Amino acid sequence: MSVVSVRHAAVGYDGREILHDISLTVSAGEVVAILGANGSGKSTLVRSILGLVPLSHGRIELFGTAQRKFRDWARVGYVPQRLGAGSGVPATVGEVVASGRLARRGIFRPAGAVDKAAVQAALTDVGLIDRINDPVTTLSGGQQQRTLIARALAGKPDLLVLDEPTAGVDAASQEAFAGALGRFEEGGGTIVLVAHELGPLRPLIDRAVVVHEGRVAHEGPPPEPFGHHADPGHDHVHPHAVQPAPGICVAPADRITAN
Ligand SMILES: Nc1ncnc2c1ncn2[C@@H]1O[C@H](COP(=O)(O)OP(=O)(O)OP(=O)(O)O)[C@@H](O)[C@H]1O
């Protein structure tokens, strides 16, 4: 059964179409990376999968159910690019992660032993259990990202959707991130991941989907590092490293910035 099915989807903002005729299927247990240049429509695609932006054409199914009828959102975990700016009293790391349990337990039932255990397991998984009582604002950017993945994992989702989760994140946090995602995958989880650089996440990726100017320009194995990108000291992969299929132009803007 497909976990995500996007069929001939079009999405626009203010009447301007951004995604054109996108079709994409993600099967249970797959890890799919969505790659592409800035502004190509990657985030819009994941937001549409999450139901955060409406389609102007086409349809999306989640776990075999039409998205408009889908109610089981606890099965979907979302990791945004950044923790939003805090307001007033900063939440602790434990509180942020506990918020990932709300869809499971409902807001009117106090957290129970199962919820607390899930929070502790998720924080242990990302290597932050010793920071559970610290204000989240005292963590580094990479540790805050790990807190966000712990929040998503605490909800025990079947599908994780991540929007550039490791952009600008330190190497140790990227490794911790990759470890947690690998264990999630081993447990049967499905992952859709927007990325600009794959870095340590690369070995996890089953399939890369390159979005270019709002269309799927290429689909296949994740791009191999090549040229000086393959040097031992160069540990990340750019989306422009994808070998374009004949006649398909992949992320020309990225090629310009390549060095
Ligand atoms: N809320 C919005 N309202 C209007 N236009 C938007 C909105 N969000 C995105 N866009 C536009 O849609 C296009 C695609 O943006 P999107 O964020 O999906 O690209 P992206 O590939 O994720 O880029 P990046 O790698 O920079 O995050 C861009 O031209 C952007 O300006």
Looking at residue 23, its pLDDT comes to 97
Residue 87: per-residue pLDDT = 55
If DSSP codes are grouped into helix, strand and coil, which group holds residue 195?
coil
pTM here is: 0.84
- DSSP annotation of 247: T
Pocket around ligand 1: residues whose beta carbon is below 6 Å from it?
Answer: 13-14, 18, 36, 38-44
**CA–CA separation, 70 vs 68, rounded Å?**
6
Is the CB of residue 19 less than 8 Å from the CB of residue 43? no
Using CA atoms, how far apart are residues 202 and 186, in angstroms rounded to an integer?
A: 15
pLDDT on residue 113: 82
In the chain the domains, ranked by start, together with CATH numbers, are 2-40+51-251 (3.40.50.300)
- What is the ipTM metric for this complex? 0.96
Residues of the chain with pLDDT under 50: 227-259
Pairing outcome for strands 2-13 and 57-62: antiparallel
Q: Are 218 and 242 in contact (CB under 8 A)?
A: yes
Mutate which of 14, 16, 17, 40 to test ligand 1's pocket (most atoms within 8 Å of Cβ)? 40
Coil, strand or helix: which one is 49? Answer: helix
Q: What is the pLDDT of residues 22-31, one digit of tens each?
A: 999 999 999 9
pLDDT given at position 7: 97
pLDDT for the residue 115: 86
HSE-CB for 167 with a 13 A CA cutoff: 16
* Residue closest to 160 by CA, chosen among 8, 33, 9: 33
Ligand 1 centre to CA of 97 (Å) is: 28
Q: Which of 43, 211, 216 to mutate to test the pocket of ligand 1 (most atoms within 8 A of CB)?
A: 43
**91 close to 131: Cβ distance less than 8 angstroms:** no
Beta strands 190-194; 31-35: pairing state = parallel
**pLDDT 10s digits, 135-146:** 999 998 889 989
Give SS3 for 140: coil
* CA–CA separation, 60 and 50 (whole Å): 10
Contact 206, 174 (CB under 8 A): no
